[in-house]
Amino acid sequence: MSLDAAVGFILQNLKESIQYNSDLLSGVKDDAKELSGDLDTLKAFVKTYTQKYQDNDILETLANKIRSAVYRAEDAIEKYIYCASQQKQRTGVNKAVQWLSYMSDLKTVAKEIRKVSKEVKAIYNTEAQIGLAAMQIEENANKDQKKKKTPIVEDNVVGFEDAAQEVYELLAGEDKSKNLEVISIIGMLGLGKTTLAKKVFSDPRIEYEFYTRVFVNVSQEYERKEVFLKILASFGQTNEQTQKMSDDELAERLNEQLKTRKYLIVMDDVWTPEAWNDLKVAFPNNNKSSRILITSRNKPVAVAANKNIDPYNLRFLYPEESQELLRRKVFGENSCPADKEEYEVRILKKCAGLPLAIVVIAGILVNQRERTDWWRRVAEDVNYYDARNQEQTYDVIKLSYNHMPYSLKPCFLYLGVFREDLDIPVWKLLRLWIAEGLIARNGSNMTLEDIAEDYLEELVDRNLVMAANRRLTGQIKTCRIHDTLRDFCKKESMKENLFLEIKRFEDVFALSGNSSEKNMRRLCVNAFVSEYIKSKPSGELVRSFLSFAKEETIMPPEHVSTIPKAFKLLRVLDVRSIIYHRFPTELLQLVLLKYIAISSNFKVLPEKVANLWNLQTLIVDTSSRTLEIKADIWKLSQLRHLQTNASTRLPQPKEDSPSNPNLLTLATIAPGSCTIEVFSKTPKLKKLGICGKLVELLEPNVQSNLSNCLIRLEDLENLKLMNDDMTSRLHSLPPDNVFPKQLVRLTLQNTLLDWRHMSTLGRLEKLEVLKLKDNAFQGEFWDTEPGGFRSLKVLHIGSTNLVRWKSAASHFPQLRSLFLRHCTVLEAIPPELGDISTLQKIDLYCTNARVATSARKIEVLKLKVQAQKKIKGAGFKFSFYPPDH
């Protein structure tokens, strides 16, 4: 890993530790201040010199010394802070010796940092000045290029047209067999097997042939139960009961569900014949021409799955396809300026038709695509690699990594902490980046979350991260990383003790007491969690403990304190896969914690959580319907996100409690906590969820009246109102002028409102997404009004007794997607909605044949218009479950 990625964000964390814990550092105030100044010098050196001289011998000589010094400084500072916090809570002098020891360590490290800084300054002032002017020109060019956004190019739009047709014929050709058939696509890593499978999977002809279609990632480290649950979940057949079933029971359940369906199951990235044999029992041969499509790197998998049909061997891209892929990824269209064509040819020759190599190289070019000298440099660098050699693919990725901006490198490497083939929720990723200190303020008015989101978009632009799902607003909802890129992240991070993953049984005991664990800064326990906890782990330098295991683990009472006792300098704890029967009070000693995500069955969050003054994100999942927070959260000035799945009662702020402009999320809180006092302390709140007896908020002349609260939240963008008392019906909503002006997303559930109140929501000028979950509105007739819903893009209507719906296209001028769930008595979708030019999708789930017929008429109209205007692309989509054929 390059020096700037290894050290840059550590320096940022150290600066913040010194800033936010200044009271505890008063005993060494002068040393800390001088150390802070020296760190600034180091940071400036790292950022500039390493960008220009990545392979410089002098830099490599200094690299280990700088890393060692910075790590030692971090350890000394944060051990001192931990010790000082413990001393602050105790009386007596029994810890005096340890206290003095930490003071001595800090002073020793400060001297060493100053010594190294002098050496760094000497080099910086001589050799590093060479070329700095050119670097400044390059940096300015980078800034100019970043303003030009590249159009989003979907992964499946370039190349393999003939391959897609051939695979289609194998799946649904005229001579297709009635028996279940297994078709396989095989090829080397990075060749585009998944891309081809997705291209076929999304083909409108395939969608017509197979209503029941599921795309499931298997991967090398698959779990049988999880694969079956994913398939069942795709057509709404999972619940609390199925989660508790064994994998054999799930296989039987899935087999029963598929017997009556004509289905297509795509099983992506199957590694071994044993994996196929393990899973195939769930797929019945139902004499309905059902199909299974497998992708694999290994031919024996295809032979084991079907000896009678040869696997489809995926070829490399043809030269013209390679050229189109590179151009579309760089320029967003199939064209290239003439002055760059010479270098384009050289680049593509070395990429040798391997899609992964092409998109990674495109990522290097994209932000400086107008600079011919940049194309020349990349063409010269890529000449060292032959992309068809699997061992050299790593070097192609390394080339992209070396050309990455200083700020992106640690964010990219951090993606390796997530287990393979995981769809990563973007909200989680951004909050973790922030808590880990990977995101620094840039002098603008942007929030850290906005900056982090820009970083993610840039990684997507560079083709290093895949946007798995996007919201209709264009924002990325979930993302993924290719296995090969993830392996790169892990290897580079291991070199610098950045993080270590535990995913095999042998890892647990191989690491126990091992020096590699003791020196590691982050632990990712993604499998065998119970075994790891029981192994009595330790790691005084560990800053993050993460677990994204597929299976839940019940934490035994005797091990509740294991993690906080083993890792006293933790900043990040994300263990939602572990279920605690009580809140681990030992966590309250870990004053450096910035991020906590925990699962439990407790009902109370203790008072001393308020001692965690560095806390930024607190996520609590509980099996309890309610949660009471006794801690004075208004003391937590760094708190940005408070997120629970229960109706949560907050402590009321005191008169002298400071306002918290950092707090962006409160979800979900009880109606009783929705007071003027609470919302006056959260002026910048962006997301609010309220769950409980909502009638308490909407009764007139009540102090906690929703109107009085909402009017104070000028920046609120996302609001959820969930009523959990079905005996009480809401008779009104606040007037439209009370709702926050910036409100974009609104969700209502079990509110039992009359449809006439929809006119209030229609007047919300910026509302783009409206989700009316089960029983949000009740009544047999809804007549929409003109002039409303000017910005609405998504309308979701859940279970309701609505019978007749009257509307006009002008009432929803921007509507793109309509979702209807369990609208069993609705007579029809208004045919006028077919005249909405922006409408792209209608999705029906458990409605009735009449509604489906009305939707099909809209589909025919939309497809006719599309044909007349010769519109290319996916066009209008109509989905209906359960299928009627």
Q: Does residue 259 lie in a domain region?
A: yes
pLDDT of 48 reads 58
Q: What percent of the chain has pLDDT over 90?
A: 37
Q: What is the pLDDT of residues 194-246, one digit of tens each?
A: 888 988 888 888 888 887 888 988 888 788 888 888 888 877 777 777 777 88
Do 37 and 80 fall within a single domain? yes
- 3 phi and psi, to 5 degrees? -60, -40
For helices 426-435 and 448-461, what crossing angle results, to 10°?
A: 120
pLDDT of 143 reads 45
Do 125 and 13 fall within a single domain? yes
- Reduced to 3 states (helix: H, G, I; strand: E, B; else coil), residue 630 is coil
The band of 131, judged by pLDDT with boundaries at 50, 70 and 90, is very low
The band of 146, judged by pLDDT with boundaries at 50, 70 and 90, is very low
Tokens 């810890």, located at residue: 95
Do 243 and 287 fall within a single domain? yes
Do 85 and 12 fall within a single domain? yes
Q: Which of 286, 313, 340 is the last residue of a domain?
A: 313
Q: Does residue 45 lie in a domain region?
A: yes
Q: Residue 121 class from Cβ within 10 Å (0-12 exposed, 13-18 middle, 19+ buried)?
A: middle
Q: What is the pLDDT of residues 506-527, one digit of tens each?
A: 666 665 555 555 677 899 998 8
Average pLDDT over residues 720-738: 89
- Reduced to 3 states (helix: H, G, I; strand: E, B; else coil), residue 515 is helix
Average pLDDT over residues 52-79: 65
For residue 157, pLDDT over 80 is answered with no
Average pLDDT over residues 841-858: 92
- 10 phi and psi, to 5 degrees? -65, -40
Higher pLDDT, 795 or 99: 795
Q: Does residue 264 lie in a domain region?
A: yes
**How many angstroms separate the CA atoms of 687 and 745, rounded?**
9
Q: Does residue 802 lie in a domain region?
A: no
For residue 13, pLDDT over 80 is answered with no
Q: How far is CA 709 from CA 41, 287, 303, 581, in A?
A: 47, 60, 64, 35
Q: Does residue 720 lie in a domain region?
A: no
Q: Number of helices and strands (H, E) in the chain?
A: 31, 31
Beta carbons within 8 Å of 613's beta carbon, 6+ residues apart: 20, 591, 635, 636, 637, 638
Do 120 and 173 fall within a single domain? no
CATH number where 182 lies: 3.40.50.300
Element (H, E) at 353: none
pLDDT of 147 reads 43
> Is the omega angle on the peptide bond into residue 882 within 30 degrees of 0, that is, cis?
yes
Residues comprising the chain, all counted? 885
The band of 54, judged by pLDDT with boundaries at 50, 70 and 90, is low
Do 224 and 275 fall within a single domain? yes
Query: Whole-number mean pLDDT of the chain?
Result: 83
The band of 884, judged by pLDDT with boundaries at 50, 70 and 90, is low
Average pLDDT over residues 67-84: 76
pLDDT of 79 reads 79
pLDDT of 124 reads 53
Contacts 24+ apart (CB under 8 A), 737-741: 738/707, 738/710, 738/711, 739/710, 739/764, 740/710, 740/713, 740/714, 740/715, 740/716, 741/714, 741/765, 741/766
For residue 122, pLDDT over 80 is answered with no
Do 42 and 91 fall within a single domain? yes
Range of the domain at 59: 3-130
Q: Does residue 428 lie in a domain region?
A: no
Q: Of 544, 542, 547, 543, which Cα lies nearest the Cα of 531? A: 547
- Per the CB < 8 A criterion, the answer to whether 180 and 291 are in contact is yes
Q: Which of 114, 130, 146 is the last residue of a domain?
A: 130
End-to-end CA distance of the chain: 55
For residue 127, pLDDT over 90 is answered with no
Q: Does residue 204 lie in a domain region?
A: yes
Q: Does residue 118 lie in a domain region?
A: yes
Do 74 and 182 fall within a single domain? no
Do 169 and 97 fall within a single domain? no
Do 46 and 169 fall within a single domain? no
- 877 phi and psi, to 5 degrees? -125, 135
Higher pLDDT, 784 or 92: 784
For residue 32, pLDDT over 80 is answered with no
Specify the amino acid at residue 537: P
Average pLDDT over residues 16-29: 70
pLDDT of 494 reads 82
Average pLDDT over residues 60-66: 62
Q: What percent of the chain has pLDDT over 70?
A: 80
Do 60 and 191 fall within a single domain? no
**How many angstroms separate the CA atoms of 102 and 417, rounded?**
31
Do 196 and 101 fall within a single domain? no
Q: What is the pLDDT of residues 663-675, one digit of tens each?
A: 999 999 999 999 9
Average pLDDT over residues 596-608: 94
For residue 656, pLDDT over 80 is answered with yes
pLDDT of 40 reads 66
Q: What is the pLDDT of residues 317-326, one digit of tens each?
A: 888 988 999 9
- Per the CB < 8 A criterion, the answer to whether 640 and 615 are in contact is no
Q: How far is CA 493 from CA 7, 517, 519, 539, in A?
A: 12, 14, 13, 17
Domain count for the chain: 2
Average pLDDT over residues 165-186: 85
pLDDT of 636 reads 95
- Reduced to 3 states (helix: H, G, I; strand: E, B; else coil), residue 222 is coil
Least confident of 136-150, 489-503, 724-738, 742-756: 136-150
**How many angstroms separate the CA atoms of 284 and 290, rounded?**
9
**How many angstroms separate the CA atoms of 819 and 386, rounded?**
48
The band of 137, judged by pLDDT with boundaries at 50, 70 and 90, is very low
**How many angstroms separate the CA atoms of 656 and 267, rounded?**
59
Q: What is the pLDDT of residues 388-405, one digit of tens each?
A: 666 667 777 887 888 788
Q: Of 393, 187, 221, 155, which Cα lies nearest the Cα of 296? A: 187
**How many angstroms separate the CA atoms of 491 and 104, rounded?**
35
For residue 91, pLDDT over 60 is answered with no
**How many angstroms separate the CA atoms of 593 and 577, rounded?**
19
CA triplet 53, 54, 59: central angle to 5 degrees?
75
Q: What is the DSSP letter of 754?
A: E
pLDDT of 629 reads 96
The band of 161, judged by pLDDT with boundaries at 50, 70 and 90, is confident
Q: What is the pLDDT of residues 518-568, one digit of tens each?
A: 677 899 998 889 999 988 888 888 999 999 988 889 999 999 999 999 999
pLDDT of 139 reads 44
Higher pLDDT, 845 or 65: 845
Pairing of strands 777-778, 544-546: unpaired
The band of 27, judged by pLDDT with boundaries at 50, 70 and 90, is low
Q: Which of 84, 113, 130 is the last residue of a domain?
A: 130
pLDDT of 126 reads 52
The band of 288, judged by pLDDT with boundaries at 50, 70 and 90, is confident
